Amino acid sequence: MTDTPATAVLLIVLPLAFNAAFAGLAATFDYPDILRRPTEEVLARFHRGGSRLVLLWWTFALTAVLFEPLAVLLPSALPGADPTLLALGSFVGVVAGLVQFLGLIRWPFLVPYLARVSTDPDATPARRETVDIVFQAFNRYLGVAVGEHLGLLFTGAWSILVGTACTQTSVLPSWLGIVGIVAGAVLVLCSLEFVGAFELAGWTLAARLTPITYIVWSLWLVATGVFLLL
């Protein structure tokens, strides 16, 4: 396969895989609403999910890895766009995939251990309290700061850069680039909610906009892939 068909296939497969894994987690684990529940309840629900839930989380994390080759291959499919812009977009895209992966990979590796300890009938109250501290600390660091804040920030920045490049190339319609720019700007805006000052102020904009924006973003990727194939 040449670079352009390979890139087009990734643009179509990535959002489909991401949304399929997300839908599976929503159906089997009540994700992301479950994260608002107490640690003990989250880990008990995770433990009941068994190996199937662990595999689903691992699959979800791998969709972030899939983002990195897409970021590297995409510039070659956009002739005529500014080379510096394309190079910067590749770098930002690789970082976006990396931080998303780091935020998600705790679920198939760290959380199963914490769930076993938390649900052990012989675990002491002090041990369960330690599990709570570890889970919440990793949830706020890898989940909120790395995965959600930096993930949204770099994904949004990548979308703005790629959207701008789409307006400069003749192989894609300009309106497709504008959609990417707008979706990326909203993702960047949503990433600010996870900064402490906004979170303490009770800013709930991201909770309302993020799901809708990710749907638009996914459709934008698929549409870009289809246009490249055509």
**What distances in angstroms separate CA 158 from CA 51, 138, 151, one per listed residue?**
34, 26, 11
pLDDT at 206: 63
Give the model confidence (pLDDT) of 166-195 as tens digits. 999 999 999 999 999 999 999 998 888 766
Domain range for 18: 3-229
Q: Tell me the C-alpha distance between 16 and 221, whole Å.
A: 10
Which spans in 74-173 are helix H? 83-104, 106-119, 125-138, 151-166
pLDDT at 2 over 80: no
DSSP state of 121: T
pLDDT at 196: 52
- In terms of residues, how long is the chain? 230
Across residues 46-67, what is the average pLDDT? 95
pLDDT at 68: 94
Across residues 47-63, what is the average pLDDT? 96
DSSP state of 145: I
Closest to 3 measured CA to CA, from 91, 88, 84, 74: 74
Give the model confidence (pLDDT) of 91-123 as tens digits. 999 999 999 999 999 999 999 999 999 999 999
Contact 45, 34 (CB under 8 A): yes
Contact 184, 163 (CB under 8 A): yes
Give the model confidence (pLDDT) of 188-215 as tens digits. 988 887 665 445 445 566 667 788 899 9
Number of domains comprising the chain: 1
